[in-house]
Every structure is written in structure tokens, then in C-alpha cells.
Structure 1
Amino acid sequence: MATITRRRRADGKLAYRVQDRTTGFPSLSETFPTLKAARDYKRKIEAERISAQAGIRRGRQTLAETIDDFKESADWRRRKSANDTARHLAWWSARIGQLPLAKITPDLIADHLHTLEAQGRTGATVNRYRSALSRVFRYAVNTRRWTDHNPCSMIERRPEGRRRERVITPDEWRRLLAAARELAKAEPKQRLSESERRYSPRAQLPNFLRVAYGTAARKSDVAWLRWEYVDLGEKVVTFPDPKSGHGYSVPLIDDALAAIQEQAELRRDGCPFVFPSRKGNDRPPAFEKPFAAARALAGLDQPDARGEVLTIHHLRHSAAT
């Protein structure tokens, strides 16, 4: 990217030098009497070189390369469902990642989605695989200009059938929470420091479940909850960016309040999340695996009469009833 450096000329007046040393292009250096002129020139040459780079890659950029580039973007880092999307994209990359974007057609994508259906995947799951690939193509079209169209837009979404309706009973809730607490105290398979153990998903799972059950909030909203949206004095938590697009506040009562107060002991500088990760401050931990382990330990991993296996999302149904 081009840079602007302020300089003082021999006559004492200020000047602004724009330099660009983008790999693969001739070096440029121009001086301007005003900052506005320098910024205008900087934007111009950056736009020209981005367009030229897109033209060089256009038609030969593979899907795997595009996925890797997408996962380095700001859009990817902002995603709450990055773990699920990464799994879906890895599936696509393993099957058609070697193909250039120009050779990935709606028919080819449809054939692979039919393969998922033949394996017994539900309409909702197939739609998630389609959506993950569609995000990559939107990125390639709108941000990188590596292709002109998104082939996923020509594929209809599958019907997703009935909504999940399972409700966890008070007895099942007690068993699940007891199992989560037992796992939190158990010795992990891998050797971790005391600090790593405290910040592990397994150690924080009981409090995560207590907040999810006590607030009836979505799994992602609880996992990504930030301290700036928690008011322990007023005993209120605000979820500002739920899937519906409208923020909402929930009173913290009893167990949910106690759980967040316990999480305050894990609060650390630079981490905005109520549930911090031992791997860094840019995203919270993933609770799916420890939840599955707690569910099995509690004997709740079998489908109910409707064929539904207990998920974290069912805590939201249970709290709302």
C-alpha cells in the first residue's frame, strides 16, 4: 500500500510525498504541495493497482486460495459462527478447492449438495454448506473482484422442516449442570497450565450453561457477550446484536447473575468477553465439544420421542417456556 510522508522543502514550506512499493509493480514516488492532493493520488494509484492485481488473478484464482484469503479478512474475524463456517469451507476445499473460480458452476455445486442429502443430512444442514460457500463467492465478487458472479445465488435453499421443539425438563437440567461441573473438575487429557485450565471451554461450561438457561439468549449471543453490555449493579445484561437485528435486555436473576459474577474473576486486560478464551482475546471459546461430553455424561445424548437430540439451543426453548 502507498504511504504519505510529510517533508519540509528547502524554502521552508511543507510538502507531502507519496510512495508505493507494491510487489510486482514499478516503485512510485511523487510530491504534492497539499495533503489533500497527496491523499487523492494515493487513492488513485491504490485503486489502479488493486484493479490490476484482480485482473492478473481473474480466472485462475482457485477456490482453496479464495477461502484462505477470505479467512484472513475482517469479515471473517467478525463472524460469530466462524467455527461452523470453517468446517463447512474445509469440506468444500477438500472436494473442489483445486478448481479455479471460473470453473465452479451451479450444477457442480448442486451435485455436491445432493451428495450431502444422500448421506442423510437435513435441509438445514445442506443450507449451511451452501451459505458458507456463497459467502466466499460474495467476497470474491465484491471485495476481490476475482469473479463476476456468485453461482450459489442460482441454487434454491432447501426446506428446513419443522423447528426444534424439545424442552429440557428440570431433572434433565440438574443432570446436565452436574455433569458439566464434574467435567470442569476432571483432569484434562492434554497437559495444561493452571491458567490454561481456568480459561478452557470445559472449565467455563457450567457458567455458560447457567447464563444461557437463565437468560433464554441464543448460544452465539451468550458466547460473544461483552463486559460493556453487563450491568451487575442494575442486574441487567444487554444483547445488542442478535440474529433478529434488534437488541434486547434481560434481567439477571439467581443462577445467571451468580454465574456472571463468577466469570468476573476471569476478567483480564485486553479481553472484552465475559467468557474469555485461553487462545487469545479476539474471540470466545467454542463450547460445542464440552457440551457434547457433558450431555453424554448426563445420559442425555439419545434422541427424544420426536427424534431430537438435546442441543445448547434447547436451553433457550426451555427457559422461555
Structure 2
Amino acid sequence: MASIRKLQSGNFQVQIRLQGLPSITKTFPKKKDAVAFSKQVEGNTELHRKLGKATALIPIFREWCNIYMAQYSGNDPSTAGRLYWWCGEFGDKPVTKIDEFMVDDGLIKLKKRNLTGSTINRYKSTLSAVFIYFVQHPDFKRSGFINPVRKETVSRFKENPSRDKFLTENEQERLLLACRTSHWERLYLLVLMALTTGARKGELLKLKWSSIDFSTRVARLDTSKNGKPRLLPLTHPVIKELMRLRENTDHLIFHSTIRENTPFDIKKSWIKALKQSNIDYCRFHDLRHTAASNLVKAGRTLFEVGTLLGHSSTTMTARYSHLAIQDTQNMVDSVMGVIK
């Protein structure tokens, strides 16, 4: 007997209990998909019973991707698009019928599209996450299935060379000046916060007025990239600009001009500010690198820099170690300089 109930999230959960078979539970974003699945399972369980195989029905890949995305809580907006591509490769195949050779063929196709190694690796890691979720799922973790993406025969691709840019002091001044005259009056605040906190663009755009504690000069990030909350110390110039724009609402600080709970699309404003400040190439994310650069050049330790940036490991902060060469030289001179 199958039962379908609507969850608080808006999804529909199917629970199927039949004598002699283990309980099967699945969640779908649409009720029609839940009904179709229940009919499919009930139709197959009779065959399973006759064959003496009381096992859960293995879902097809496309169906499993829908289940995966229903519980996905990550911040990567490209995940759905990558899985859509993989569904085009083997969407109608049962998950356990997909092997490392099929995965490798898919990666080779991506390579022939002249995608960079870093981009292909993102497709690869997204696919692997789907298989990991399957392997760890209570209904299938005893199936003996092994994540095919992790097999040795699957191709590996080199990451792109880093194009990190560190703005000079003069470039930072020119950029902030251009932002002050932007048609979007909050661009200056956004860039100033990025340069002084090292926060990511997505983290800043999600800030609400309730996230700001004006008395302690701190902004609270409820969820960062690594899934942990983080506090951002705010400088006096940032607080001053926040006070100028302060609203008595709990809406996003950097909201759209149309919807107050939708982040503003900064692309046009950002490009215009770069052009006006005569900066040829700079991603918004490079403001994060620049913030780290400013701290290292001021003599702060890599540990302190990593703490501000919210790095989960020291290896992520090590990319800035070359900026601290002068401090390293001073350390060596003061300790080792007496050796002759």
C-alpha cells in the first residue's frame, strides 16, 4: 500500500509498505511524480516477490538527480545545469548500471567541447556527489554499488592556472571613487565591505539589515561557503555608510530595485565602475584576494588572514604566502643573521 503526504517544504513524500518487502520512501517536488513512482514500484514489487527478490527498486539516474536536488543545500547555482547535462548522457539508465567507462566517455565529450580542466572537474565533482548520496542512502547503502567517478580509470584534468588579481592601493582608490558615482548608490558600500572584510560576493548579497549589529560593528553570516556561520568585523567607514542607507526593515541590504528579498544584479554597475577606474581585468572575487593581500602586507599572519576569510584549512590561505616574503626575510635576518 502506497501513501503520499505533502511535507512542510512543499515536496511530496511517498511511502510504500508491502508484505515481505522493505519499506520504500522517496520525496518528489511534484505530486504527479510521486504518484507515478508509487505506481511503478507497486507494479514491480509483484515481480520482485515472484522472483524472491525483496529489494528496493533501483531508481533511474534522472529520477535520482531530482531526489538529490530536492535535498541539495549547497550554494553552487550551476549544479542543476551540470546534472541536466549528465541526464542527457545516461538519464534513463538505472543508477547502478552506470559504470566508470560511461563516466569517462562523458568527461571526454566535455573535453571535446573545449571546456577548461577546472570546468570539467566541476562537472565531475557534481556527478560524484550524486553517486555519494546514493551510496550513503539507507535504501541503497547495502547494494554494493561503488561510486564509478572514483575509479582509477576515470580521466583526471588539471585545474586552470590561477588568475587571481591583487589591486594596488591606487587601483583600490580609483575603484572606490568610481563606485561613489555609480547609478546604483549601494555599489560603493558593497565594494567597501568586500575590500575590508574579505567576504564573498554571494555572502554580502545575502546580508539583511537584521544581520548587522551596529553597537559591536559586526555582520553575521548565518551560512558561509563551508556551511558554518561567520562574523564579519566592520570598519567605521562601513558603519557610517550603512547608517546613511539604513532601512527599518528586515530586507536584504543589497536588494533588487524591484524585489526587496532578491539580491541586486551588480554586473552592469560593476563593469561600468571598472571601465571608469581604468582597471582592465578584475573579478569581484578579486576584492577578496585584495583584502587578504592588504592584511599580509601589513604584517598580519596567514592564520589571522585565514580566520577573517573563513578558510576551513591552512592550505587555502597558503596562496598568499608569497606576499609575506618581506616579513619572512625580516624574521630570518633577526634570528639567523648572527650566524657567520
What range describes the TM-score normalised by the shorter chain of this pair?
0.5 to 0.7
CA contact (8 A) 2:17 2:23 kept: no
- Residue 299 of structure 1, CA deviation: 5.7
In the other structure, the counterpart of 2:300 is: none
Structure 2 residue aligned with 1:65: 63
- Distance change (3 Å), C-alpha of 1:135 and 1:124: same
Compute the TM-score of the two structures, normalised by the length of structure 2.
0.57
What is the distance in 2 between the residues matched to 1:103 and 1:24?
24
Corresponding residue for 1:84? 78
Please tell me whether residue 314 in structure 1 is matched to residue 282 in structure 2.
Answer: no
Q: TM-score scaled to structure 1, two decimals?
A: 0.59
How far is the alpha carbon of 1:316 from its aligned partner? 0.6
- 1:49: how far off? 4.1
Once the two structures are aligned, what percentage of the paired residues are identical? 24
* Aligned-pair CA distance for 1:102: 2.3
Moved more, 237-246 or 106-115: 237-246
C-alpha distance in structure 2 between counterparts of 1:259 and 1:87, whole Å: 38
Q: Which amino acid aligns with 2:57?
A: R
Q: Establish whether residue 217 from structure 1 lines up as the match of residue 180 from structure 2.
A: no
Aligned-residue offset at 1:99? 2.7
Distance in 2, matches of 1:72 and 1:214, equals 36
CA pair 223-157 structure 1, distance change in 2 beyond 3 A: farther
Matches within 5 A, 1:147-186: 148-154=145-151, 155=154, 158-168=157-167, 169-170=171-172, 173-174=175-176, 177=179, 181-182=182-183, 184=184
The CA deviation at 1:97 is 2.2
What SS does the aligned partner of 2:162 have? coil
Letter in 2 for 1:151: P
Contact kept? 2:75, 2:225, Cα under 8 Å: no
Q: 2:267 is aligned with what amino acid? A: A
Residue 279 and residue 107 in structure 1: after superposition, are their counterparts in 2 closer, same or farther (change >3 A)?
Answer: farther
Deviation of the 1:253 alpha carbon: 1.6
Is the 1:64–1:98 contact (alpha carbons within 8 Å) kept by the matching residues of 2?
yes
For residues 67 and 208 of structure 1, the distance between their equivalents in structure 2, rounded to whole angstroms, comes to 36
Instruction: Give the superposition deviation at 1:124.
Output: 1.9
Alpha carbons 2:194, 2:201 under 8 Å: kept: yes
Query: For residues 71 and 233 of structure 1, what CA distance do their matches in structure 2 show?
Result: 40
After superposition, where does 1:237-248 map in structure 2 within 5 Å?
237-239=219-221, 242-243=224-225
Q: How does 1:35-184 map to 2 (within 5 A)?
A: 48-50=23-25, 55-58=55-58, 61-73=59-71, 76=72, 78-81=73-76, 83-143=77-137, 145-146=139-140, 148-154=145-151, 155=154, 158-168=157-167, 169-170=171-172, 173-174=175-176, 177=179, 181-182=182-183, 184=184
Asked if structure 2 preserves the Cα contact closer than 8 Å seen for 1:176 and 1:295, the reply is: no
Distance (whole Å) between structure 1 residues aligned to residue 56 and residue 65 of structure 2: 18
CA distance in 1, matches of 2:202, 2:74: 10
| Cα distance in 1 for residues equivalent to 2:61 and 2:55 | 16
**What are the residue-to-residue correspondences of 1:283-298 with 2, within 5 Å?**
285=263, 290-298=265-273
Aligned residue identity for 1:292: K
Task: State the shift of 1:234 in Å.
Answer: 1.4
- Per-residue CA deviations over 1:12-53 (Å, capped at 9, x if unaligned) read xxxxxxxxx966546x9xxxxxxxxxxxxxxxx997444997
Q: 2: distance between equivalents of 1:240 and 1:295? A: 26
Unaligned runs of 5+ in 2: 6-12, 27-37, 42-53, 295-340
- Relative contact order higher in (CA < 8 Å, ≥ 6 apart): 1
Change (3 A) 1:176 1:98: farther
What residue in structure 1 maps to residue 249 of structure 2? Answer: 267
